[in-house]
């Protein structure tokens, strides 16, 4: 089924303790090549029927109003998933 992907990340200027914890763990395991880790969310919204401009617009609204909290997060992308459906 056609899928819209919404990507949300914590605001860059705000603390992301979960990301920090992962970065710390990576460093302890010797993976010093990664300076920083941030953890956000990836939503897959399945749409019945084809994806139209209207569905994308609806997804954008939902992304801003519900899937993210604009006070602490940014919606960084709302896009149609490639048809191949790598993410089944």
Residues at the contact surface with other proteins, assessed by CB under 8 A: 10-11, 13-18, 20-22, 24-25, 28-29, 39, 66-67, 69, 71-72
Distance of CA 33 to the CA centre of its chain: 23
The encoded tokens of residue 80 equal: 């149609």
* Separation between Cα atoms, residue 70 and residue 84, nearest integer Å: 31
79 binds, among other proteins, a second copy, none (CB under 5 to 8 A by kind): none
The encoded tokens of residue 70 equal: 């604009």
- Does 34 sit near a second copy (CB under 8 A)? yes
- Does 83 sit near a second copy (CB under 8 A)? no
Burial degree of 65 (CB within 10 A; 0-12, 13-18, 19+): exposed
Nearer to other proteins, 4 or 67 (CB): 67
Residue of 71, 45, 49, 74 lying closest to 58 (CA atoms): 45
Binding site for a second copy (CB under 8 A): 1, 4, 7-9, 12, 19, 22, 25-26, 29, 31, 33-48, 55, 58-59, 62, 66-67, 74, 76-77, 86-88
């Amino acid at each position: 089924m056609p899928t819209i992907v919404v990507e949300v990340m914590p605001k860059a200027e705000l603390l992301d303790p979960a990301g920090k914890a992962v970065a710390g763990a990576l460093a302890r395991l010797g993976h010093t090549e990664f300076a920083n880790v941030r953890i956000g969310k990836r939503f897959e919204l399945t749409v019945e029927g084809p994806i139209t401009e209207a569905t994308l617009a609806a997804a954008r609204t939902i992304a801003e109003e519900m899937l993210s909290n604009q006070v602490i997060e940014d919606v960084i992308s709302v896009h149609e998933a490639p048809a191949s459906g790598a993410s089944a």
